[in-house]
Amino acid sequence: MTTTGRYPAALQRRTVTVLAVAQLFSGLGNGSTLALGSILAVRLSGSEAWAGATTAALTLTAAVVAVPLSTLAVRRGRRVALVTGLAGAMVGCAVIVLAVVTGLFPLLLAGAALVGLATAVNLQSRFAAVDLAADVHRGRDLSVVVWSITVGAVAGPNLIRPGAVLGRALGLPEIAGPFVISLAGMVVGALILLVGLRPDPLLAARAATVQAGTPAGPAPRGRATLRDGWAAIRREPRALAALLGVLAAHGAMVAVMSMTPLHLQHLNAAAPSAAGQRLTEPDLLALIGFTISLHILGMYAFSPLLGWCTDRWGRTATLLAGQAVLLVAVLLAGFGQDRVPIVTAGLLLLGLGWSASTVAGSTLLAESVEAGARVLAQGVSDTLMGGIGAVGSAVAGALLAGTGYLGLNLVAVALLGVAVVAILRLSRSAALLGSIPT
């Protein structure tokens, strides 16, 4: 799909700009929830066994709604689907604030689940960026939208201190303040999409395809389902390789990242207070926010460079490089578990490896299936990403309690190792390394 004829390259540039600016604001909610979720879960539930519950709820929702949002996009366009998702996430931020005020753990889970709609929106936005993209710039355009999440997602954890001030000013608990800021950011992001995403990129791409007389591939009959999208992926080994890489990266990243705040809390509790090495709670929260911010920086800040690598060196090569960085990251964080700087470095690399795998894998997936099933295949990818993220974060709590932080990271090593072997086999069978455009 190219942006020639009726829909010029200027429309694609405008679409990417609107998506990118909206992501700057909508990313705030995820950053705050990821930074504070495990701590709030333990505080409100009274048990560390529930530490991964908020991240699990968030990612599970992202999985469940991915295909419905994709179906809505097919029927009504990207603009309606993205704004609808953000509207639900706004409600989620408000519910989290209510949970903090009332101390009700079920409300916290409900709020985190609704915030998961913003995750689904972020995931779908990267595919919206390539609806009208030229083949040679597909990786670049997708990566620009991924990169734009950086500001909001990195700012989210660092809004803990300003959020605490806002919370006090509003008569709320300090820890509720960051979610008020997140809510405001999502409102701004939704308004930008509502006003700026016209004409709709998916509808414009469809119209351009019809005008050019280009076959769009078989469309699913009746109501679109996960089975339709999965069938499109299964027919193409390149798409399977892309999906496996994205899923392994996301599962490992979510599992390790979601437990790191609690691990840092454990390290602080074990520090000798007499020597002045134990941090106060505000300082500990600031340290956690800084660590998660660096991790999110790795996830998004370098995505334009990784998009360039994807276009220049090939999708599969960049995907495998991302898996290699992830392996280094979890080994570093695991074996350096007693040193905060080493754990932080591991988290930064964890984000970088995730970014390379996601940008390259998403680009490869988007171009590997027929146009008529592309949006549904993307929905399947997002659903499975959310599913493995939910399972990973839920299991991570038990692994942390039973095997420690090192054990958790070694499980991630095993997951990534299996994925690399599978990607290499699929790549070899389809001659991917020699046939993918660079």
DSSP annotation of 175 reads: G
In a domain, 391, yes or no: yes
In a domain, 419, yes or no: yes
Task: Please count the residues of the chain.
Answer: 438
In a domain, 87, yes or no: yes
Q: Domain of 74: which CATH number?
A: 1.20.1250.20
Q: What is the dihedral of CA 324, 295, 297, 306, to 10 degrees?
A: 10
What are the average pLDDT values for consecutive 10-residue runs of the chain, which has 438 residues?
Answer: 54 89 78 73 84 82 86 90 95 94 94 91 84 76 78 67 84 86 90 92 79 51 66 86 94 92 85 66 77 85 87 90 97 93 95 94 85 79 84 85 92 95 84 45
Residue 242 neighbours by CB under 8 Å, 6+ apart: 315, 319, 360, 361, 362, 364, 365, 368, 381
pLDDT of residue 1: 41
> How many domains are there within the chain?
1
pLDDT of residue 30: 65
Q: Kindly write down the DSSP assignment for every residue of 92-139, as one continuous string.
A: HHHHHHHHHHHT-HHHHHHHHHHHHHHHHHHHHHHHHTTSS--GGGHH
Q: Cis omega before residue 106 (within 30°)?
A: no
In a domain, 18, yes or no: yes
**pTM for the structure as a whole:** 0.72
In a domain, 1, yes or no: no
pLDDT of residue 81: 95
In a domain, 4, yes or no: no
In which domain, by residue range, is 148 found?
Answer: 9-435
In a domain, 3, yes or no: no
